[in-house]
Amino acid sequence: MTEPVTLRAGVSVVIPARDESDSLELLIDEIAAALDALSEYETIVVDEGSLPSAEGLLRRLMATRPRLRALRHAVSCGKSAALRTGVMAARYPIVVTLDGDGQNDPAYIAPLLAALTSGERVALVAGQRTRRGDSGWKKLQSRIGNWVRAKLLKDATRDSVCGLKAFRRDVFLALPYFDTMHRFLPALVRREGYEIRHVDVVDRPRRHGRSHYGMWDRLLVGVPDLAGVWWLIRRRRRVPQVSEVRNAD
């Protein structure tokens, strides 16, 4: 059975981060400002095997930010693993994700949450970038990848890898887990019979560092995973619509 989610229950913001200490402090403060009207929220940074100095930074930030929590992977296990770690640790039923490099603007959290709570069957709201701060080469890679994915999976999403998303925690944890699953969340959520919504967002320029992904990295893991998700969708013939039978009393 599906019950609508409400903001009164609280929101957990999960940030997967790897060697992005230069961006985190400002990003965490921007998230706090964006969620200031909520009485129940938390921010969880999942550090993906960064340099040891990152732990010191997180400890310092937590000393003055009581809503901030931090988790660490001893070695990098990938973005999907970091997201899953954060979602499993989340205390609230609604989860918002955004990347740790500062390109995702926390100002879009409010419209994501509004769309997520607009209907009881809505389980995922995905940001879709309209203007990006990446190079032309990276934009071309993304366009090609999104076009192929949309043709095969029919997930009605033009930009599945935007870091800005809001979703129901229980639905996320019921999805099949695999490395790089974050790239296929709209297709996986639709496979379970839920609705998705989209919000147009604008990327900001990267403040520090560089992307951890290259064309060949994406291609080598993306093609087998795309085939696997396509197979999963084809094998799900019907989604059970469950209702509880109550006694006559």
- 61-95: pLDDT as tens digits: 999 999 999 999 989 999 999 999 999 999 999 99
Domain boundaries, the chain: 9-234
In contact, 213 and 219? CB cutoff 8 Å: no
Cα dist from 65 to 56, 96, 196, whole Å: 14, 18, 33
Q: How far out from the chain centre does Cα 81 lie?
A: 11
pLDDT at 216 over 50: no
pLDDT per position as a tens digit, 87-127? 999 999 999 999 999 999 999 999 999 999 998 899 999 99
pLDDT per position as a tens digit, 197-213? 999 999 888 765 555 55
Q: How confident is the model at residue 217 (pLDDT cuts 50, 70, 90)?
A: low
The pLDDT of residue 1: 44
Q: What percent of the chain has pLDDT above 70?
A: 85
The pLDDT of residue 95: 98
Question: Taking all residues of the chain, what is their mean pLDDT, rounded to a whole number?
Answer: 86
Helices (H) and strands (E) in the chain, counts: 8, 7
Closest to 172 measured CA to CA, from 234, 108, 94 = 94
Q: Where are the beta strands (DSSP E) in the chain?
A: 11-17, 41-48, 68-73, 94-97, 122-131, 165-168, 195-202
The pLDDT of residue 215: 47
In contact, 148 and 226? CB cutoff 8 Å: yes
Q: In this structure, which topology does domain 9-234 adopt according to CATH? A: Spore Coat Polysaccharide Biosynthesis Protein SpsA; Chain A (3.90.550)
